[in-house]
Amino acid sequence: MSPWWIVCRKELRETLRDRRTLLMMIVVPVLLYPVLLIVSEQLLLFGMRQLEADPAAVAVMGTAPPELLDLIRESESIRLVEFAGEPEAAIRSNSVSAVAIVGASGGPEDTRDVTLLFDATSDRSQRGHRALSNVIGNWGDALLAQRLESEGLPTSFATPVAMADSSIARPEEVGGYTLGRLLPLLLVVMTLLGTFYPAIDLAAGEKERGTLETLLTAPVPPRAIVAGKFVTVAIIGVVVAGLNLGSMILIFQTGMLQFAGAVGLEVSIPIASIGIIFLTLVPLAVLFGAIFLGLAVRSTSFKEAQNALTPVSMLVVIPAMLPIFPGIEFGPLLAITPVAGVSFFFRDLMTGDAGFFTGALVLGSTAAYAAAALVFAVRAFGDERILFGGAEQPVPQDAPSWIERIRLRGRGAGVPRPDQALAFVVFVALLYFYGGFQLQIRLGMGGLLAAEWTLLLLPAVLFVWLGGFDVRETLSLRRPNHRALAGAVLLIAGATPAAWLIGWLQSHVIPIPWEFLEGLEELVTAESLPKLAWLLLVLAVTPAICEETVFRGVLLGGTRSMEPWRVVLLNGIIFGVFHLSFETVIQFLPTASLGIVIAWAVWRTGSIWVGMIMHLLNNATIVVLASSPGLRESFSNPEAPPPLWLLPFAAIALFTGFRLMNALPTRSET
Amino acid sequence: MIRLHDITKAYGPLKAVDRLSLSVEAGEVYALLGPNGAGKTTALRCLATLLTPDGGSAAICGVDVTHDPLGARRRLAFLAASMGLYERLTAREMIGYFGMLQGLDARVLEARLDELIELFGIGDFAGRLCGRLSTGQRQRVSLARALVHDPPVLILDEPTLGLDVLSGQTIYDFIRRERERGKAILFSTHQMDEVDLLADRVGVLGKGRLVAEGSPAELVASRGAPTLARAFLDLVTESQA
């Protein structure tokens, strides 16, 4: 018997004896979740029937004609009542659900004003309002018919156009469309939950219980141990997902949901699609299993792993939610986006619109990501620093506390630790989020200027000074040589058009919010030279100094001890996240890519001045282009790709800049 | 059977084990003493192939632990201080699992399981989940688990940690029995009476270095101390200075 299979069999046996996993695997999908769905539906139907069984109490005020009162009395869904006091108070106290205030009649050809009072926060009042509105509409129709008759005109005179809606979608297609919005997310989440606890238990749990140490003394290579554990997690994930899918099919295919039938929906999943959905769940479970296993083994306890994996799960759920939002086209780029591709593919399978090409892309890319995640997990299991790193690591005796650092300030005690630098960036980001936006709303451009200097630069300087860190080391205050400066100019000359290209490419997936862009264009466009100088100060010089001090200063200085690629990638991603706005995420990728290039340049040269120059040149270029009438037309259309002639120059500039900087001696060599 | 030659292992700037050399022969019991953080567990983990030494070499029955870790693992039994039992496996399943991982044939394994269950008195609770066993019962299952492939070398990290007198006695009996069977046994401990009772030779570690080695009687005599505990204290105090 292969070692991985021995491990897998044992893990499955143990997992099946774990009540927590069983609860998640069987009880939730097979029992709890259908029961909850059916019970909530029954409650909904019960409530609706109750409301319908009891005619809504309505009242009429003003000069209501007898024929209107007769119509109300004839209606089965409402009953006419009298009330005392103010109508608003009567509605709030549930004495009546809606009140019609009928204005006086001016003559046979005048318009009668009718105001309907109701409470939009009360189901009962809304129902009364709808019913009363229908009756008054009928009364209006009857009056119109009388008027037309008295003038000798046909009824069609008042209806020059008769419009009728007719959807070509069959009821089952509408049902699939409705299901396709919600069920993919549910399936992804349930697959995720199915792998979440077993992965933690089999990796961090095993470390915490001390069994991993014993297991690793058996004559089995780490890859066999990972394979056994990974197959277990993937099997459980697939079983959980399959049970969920089975539950859904049972509920929808057997017509157990009466509500859907009541509103004319045929909610069913095409039989042919069910098999493909299940097949797609396999690589998804594999992907989640490998990611979680690789991450969980880096934690020392179940609780620590739970804390580490929870934010990752939330990140995973975000792309799974995309099919819910309207206007996002499912194309090749989304098909290869992790999790999002699967979620969209499920949606198309449920509506019967799935294509072979996108399906193959989804399956292929998900399998590739799963393989990469598996390599990540295997590497973790083969790394003794990860497996036993925490057990005997000595605590540095000479690390000064924060209070000591404040006492020692100015004496230059090293650089911040990665966790301190990250905590600082989170702090200023929150400060900027809550304070900076308020300043911008109240003071406009002046507020932006104030926010950058007071909420970014000032806290950064205070952090380094009060923290007692080495200012020169932390903020990379080294003078760059000519080669570094030339490299910086070339890099940003290539990176700015590259960011533009990235923005254009992503516009095929993420819709461009035009109002946001128009506002942005207005912000960066100057009509006069003094305005241009002001814009350059606020939008180019200031961010180059303040944002660079935070991101390429404190953050990069604090994370330098990490692997270089992590330092640069993390810096770019955080820089991109910092530039997210309420309206859209379109700025993230271009900004993050610029951040990565600038972070690499600063990491390579050890000089923040390089970063400041690059940031300044990028922002100043945008302001100048937007403010030059001749250039604005050519460069301001976000839907247009960058000019083709620009791209070779950008590529050459990037390459040359990279070569120039890469030839520089590293910090340790200087 | 066990050879450590100039083994060094560092965690960042701290050398947990510093050029440690020692050897244990067949039928010999070697006790590794040292205060907390002296490097005992790190040295044993290097030998058990859990950690890769930064320098030096280690071998089990002539098999280099760095170059052929799987070969070394087939020749050793490692008992961690945490015991390392799976809570949701029964005692029999636990021992059987490691027997399968050691590559034992199903029929051989069944016979070996019966033998170990008999030897360690596990019969009464062989079908009980390990999570429901007492500390003494757990330690017996751990020993049976470690010995399932009957290796020539035993490495035991604080084997009596947290055990009562009766359970401790089981360990003593076990070590004596295995010595008689010609096994090379290396164990770490803080208990001087254990060393007096069991060890043929003792090594004292201080700051990762071997500061003294010899039989318990030789150590006591070399320090002119009344007891082994006193001699150990002297050596440790000296090494920390």
User: What is the amino acid identity at position A256?
Assistant: M
| pLDDT band of A637, cuts 50, 70, 90 | low
CA distances from A601 to A232, A490, A559, A563, A651 (A): 44, 11, 15, 15, 16
pLDDT in tens, A388-434: 654 444 334 344 555 555 555 545 568 888 888 999 999 999 888 88
Q: Partners of B33 in the beta sheet? A: B204
b/e sequence B167-196, b meaning 16+ C-beta within 10 Å:
bbebbeebbeebbeeebbbbbbbebbebbb
For residue A355, the model assigns a pLDDT of 81
**Binary contact (B78, A214; C-beta < 8 A):** yes
| pLDDT band of A670, cuts 50, 70, 90 | very low
Question: Quick one: tokens of A270?
Answer: 């095409």
| Dihedral in degrees, nearest 10, Cα atoms A318, A319, A323, A327 | 100
The residue of B9, B44, B88 whose CB has the most chain A CBs within 10 angstroms, and thus the best one to mutate to test that interface, is: B88
φ and ψ at A61, to 5 degrees?
A: -120, 165
Cβ-nearest to B88 among A7, A18, A387: A18
**Binary contact (A218, B73; C-beta < 8 A):** yes
Share of chain A above pLDDT 90, in %: 25
DSSP A231-275: HHHHHHHHHHHHHHHHHHHHHHHTT--HHHHHTT------HHHHH
The answer to whether residue A383 neighbours chain B at the CB level (below 8 Å) is: no
SS3 A600: helix
The residue in chain B having the minimum alpha-carbon distance to the alpha carbon of residue A18 is: B88
Number of neighbours of residue A582 by Cβ within 10 angstroms: 6
- In this structure, are residues A26 and A34 in contact, taking their beta carbons and an 8 Å threshold? no
For residue A268, the model assigns a pLDDT of 64
Query: Using only C-alpha atoms, what is the Rg of chain B?
Result: 18
For residue A582, the model assigns a pLDDT of 64
Instruction: Identify the burial level of B118 via C-beta atoms within 10 angstroms of its C-beta, where 0-12 means exposed, 13-18 middle and 19 or more buried.
Output: exposed
Whose structure tokens read 């990290």?
Answer: B157
Cβ-nearest to B73 among A1, A217, A392: A217
- In this structure, are residues A619 and A539 in contact, taking their beta carbons and an 8 Å threshold? yes
Give the B-side interface with A, CB within 8 Å: 11-12, 14, 16, 37, 41-42, 45, 48-52, 70-71, 73-74, 76, 78, 80-89, 93, 97-98, 100-103, 129, 145
Total residues belonging to chain A: 670
Phi-psi region of A243 (alpha: psi -120 to 50; beta: other; left: phi over 0): alpha
For residue A241, the model assigns a pLDDT of 82
Rounded Cα distance, A657 and A222, in Å = 42
**Binary contact (B101, A3; C-beta < 8 A):** yes
Whose structure tokens read 């009880």?
Answer: A27
Q: Is the pLDDT of residue A181 over 90?
A: no
**Signed CA dihedral, A524, A528, A531, A533: sign only:** positive
Question: Quick one: tokens of A174?
Answer: 């509408």
Question: Quick one: tokens of A555?
Answer: 């953050």
Rounded Cα distance, A244 and A237, in Å = 11
Rounded Cα distance, B218 and A219, in Å = 38
- In this structure, are residues B140 and B149 in contact, taking their beta carbons and an 8 Å threshold? no
Closest residue by Cα to residue A377 from A295, A316, A309, A282: A295
Rounded Cα distance, A577 and A573, in Å = 6
Rounded-to-5 percentages of helix, strand, coil across chain B: 40, 25, 30
Q: Is the pLDDT of residue A240 over 70?
A: yes
* CA angle at B10 for the pair A379 and B151, rounded to the nearest 5°: 70
- Cα end-to-end distance, chain A, whole Å: 57
Cβ-nearest to A218 among B81, B87, B102: B102
* Average confidence (pLDDT) over A577-600: 85
CA distances from A633 to A505, A509, A637 (A): 20, 24, 7
Q: What is the mean pLDDT of chain A?
A: 83
Q: At what angle do helices A482-506 and A588-605 cross, to 10 degrees?
A: 160
φ and ψ at B63, to 5 degrees?
A: -95, 120
The answer to whether residue A384 neighbours chain B at the CB level (below 8 Å) is: yes
Instruction: Identify the burial level of A579 via C-beta atoms within 10 angstroms of its C-beta, where 0-12 means exposed, 13-18 middle and 19 or more buried.
Output: middle
pLDDT in tens, A325-342: 776 778 888 888 888 888
Question: Quick one: tokens of B56?
Answer: 């030096």
User: What is the amino acid identity at position A408?
Assistant: L
Question: Quick one: tokens of A609?
Answer: 């001045």
The residue of B15, B50, B157 whose CB has the most chain A CBs within 10 angstroms, and thus the best one to mutate to test that interface, is: B50
User: What is the amino acid identity at position B171?
Assistant: I
The answer to whether residue A13 neighbours chain B at the CB level (below 8 Å) is: yes
User: CATH 3.40.190 occupies which residues in chain A?
Assistant: 53-155
* Average confidence (pLDDT) over A161-170: 82
SS3 A432: helix
| Residue numbers in B near A219 (CB within 8 A) | 70-71, 73-74, 101-103
For residue A392, the model assigns a pLDDT of 42
For residue A396, the model assigns a pLDDT of 40
pLDDT in tens, B216-238: 889 888 888 888 888 888 888 88
CA distance A392 to chain B (A): 8
For residue A99, the model assigns a pLDDT of 94
Strands B55-60 and B2-11: antiparallel
* Average confidence (pLDDT) over A520-532: 77
For residue B44, the model assigns a pLDDT of 92
**Binary contact (A14, B16; C-beta < 8 A):** no
| Residue numbers in A near B11 (CB within 8 A) | 392-394
Q: Compute mean pLDDT per 10 residues along chain B, 241 residues long, and list them.
A: 90 83 93 88 91 91 91 92 87 95 92 92 92 89 91 91 81 90 92 88 90 89 86 82 68
CATH classification code of A53-155:
3.40.190
- In this structure, are residues A67 and A139 in contact, taking their beta carbons and an 8 Å threshold? yes
CA distance B218 to chain A (A): 31
The answer to whether residue A74 neighbours chain B at the CB level (below 8 Å) is: no
b/e sequence B206-219, b meaning 16+ C-beta within 10 Å:
bbbbbbbeeebeeb
SS3 B14: strand
φ and ψ at A67, to 5 degrees?
A: -65, -35
The residue in chain A having the minimum alpha-carbon distance to the alpha carbon of residue B88 is: A14
- In this structure, are residues A558 and A417 in contact, taking their beta carbons and an 8 Å threshold? yes
Q: At what angle do helices A33-53 and A222-253 cross, to 10 degrees?
A: 20
DSSP A343-383: HHHHHHHHHT---HHHHHHHHHHHHHHHHHHHHHHHHHHT-
Q: At what angle do helices A340-351 and A271-296 cross, to 10 degrees?
A: 170
Rounded Cα distance, A136 and A75, in Å = 11
pTM over 0.95: no
Phi-psi region of B233 (alpha: psi -120 to 50; beta: other; left: phi over 0): alpha
Q: At what angle do helices B135-147 and B91-101 cross, to 10 degrees?
A: 20
Whose structure tokens read 């979680």?
Answer: A292
**Binary contact (B11, A218; C-beta < 8 A):** no
Phi-psi region of A107 (alpha: psi -120 to 50; beta: other; left: phi over 0): left
Rounded Cα distance, A205 and B241, in Å = 40
φ and ψ at B23, to 5 degrees?
A: -145, 150
* Out of A52-56, A110-114, A128-132, A202-206, least confident range: A52-56
* Average confidence (pLDDT) over A656-662: 90
The residue in chain B having the minimum alpha-carbon distance to the alpha carbon of residue A207 is: B84
- CB contacts < 8 A, A to B, total 88
Whose structure tokens read 């320098």?
Answer: B55
| Residue numbers in B near A14 (CB within 8 A) | 86, 88-89
pLDDT in tens, A638-650: 667 777 888 889 9
Rounded Cα distance, A538 and B209, in Å = 62
**Binary contact (A10, B97; C-beta < 8 A):** yes
Rounded Cα distance, A41 and A236, in Å = 30
Rounded Cα distance, A602 and A555, in Å = 12
Q: At what angle do helices A222-253 and A356-381 cross, to 10 degrees?
A: 140
φ and ψ at A114, to 5 degrees?
A: -130, 125
CA distance B49 to chain A (A): 7
List all residues of chain A from 159 to 198 with a beta carbon under 8 Å from chain B: none
